[in-house]
Amino acid sequence: MNIILLGPPGAGKGTQASQLEDERGMVQLSTGDMLRAAVAAETPVGLQAKDVMARGDLVSDEIVTGILSDRLDEDDVKQGFILDGYPRTEAQAHSLDTLLAAKGMKLDHVIELVVDEDALVERITGRFTCANCGEGYHDTFKLPKVEGVCDECGSAEFKRRPDDNAETVRTRMEEYRTKTAPIIPHYEPKGLVRRVDGMANIEAVSVSIGAVLDAE
Ligand code: AMP
* pLDDT tens profile 117-153: 888 888 899 999 999 999 999 999 899 999 999 999 9
Task: State yes or no: is 172 an active-site residue.
Answer: yes
pLDDT of residue 4: 98
Q: How many CB atoms lie within 10 A of CB 3?
A: 23
Task: State yes or no: is 170 an active-site residue.
Answer: no
Nearest to 19 by CA among 215, 208, 216, 169: 208
pLDDT of residue 117: 83
- Catalytic entry in 36, 50, 123, 127: 127
The answer on pLDDT for 216 being more than 70 is: no
* pLDDT tens profile 12-61: 999 999 999 999 999 999 999 999 999 999 999 999 999 999 999 999 99
Residue type at 80?
A: G
Tally the C-alpha atoms within 13 A of residue 24's C-alpha that lie toward its C-beta: 24
pLDDT of residue 119: 85
* pLDDT tens profile 24-33: 999 999 999 9
Q: Report the separation in Å between the CA atom of 145 and the middle of ligand 1, taken as the mean of its atom positions.
A: 30
- For residues 198 and 112, what is the distance between their CA atoms, to the nearest angstrom? 8
Over range 162-177, report the average pLDDT: 92
Give the model's confidence band at 204: pLDDT under 50 very low, under 70 low, under 90 confident, else very high: very high
* pLDDT tens profile 104-118: 999 999 999 999 888
- Catalytic entry in 24, 142, 161, 179: 161
Q: Report the separation in Å between the CA atom of 58 and the middle of ligand 1, taken as the mean of its atom positions.
A: 6
pTM summary value = 0.91
Order of all β-strands in the sheet with 136-138:
136-138, 127-130, 158-159
Give the model's confidence band at 188: pLDDT under 50 very low, under 70 low, under 90 confident, else very high: very high
Q: Are 198 and 12 in contact (CB under 8 A)?
A: yes
Task: State yes or no: is 160 an active-site residue.
Answer: no
- For residues 213 and 216, what is the distance between their CA atoms, to the nearest angstrom? 7
Q: Report the separation in Å between the CA atom of 214 and the middle of ligand 1, taken as the mean of its atom positions.
A: 29
43: three-class secondary structure by DSSP: coil
Task: State yes or no: is 88 an active-site residue.
Answer: yes
Over range 149-168, report the average pLDDT: 95
Q: Are 112 and 193 in contact (CB under 8 A)?
A: yes
Q: What is the DSSP letter of 148?
A: T
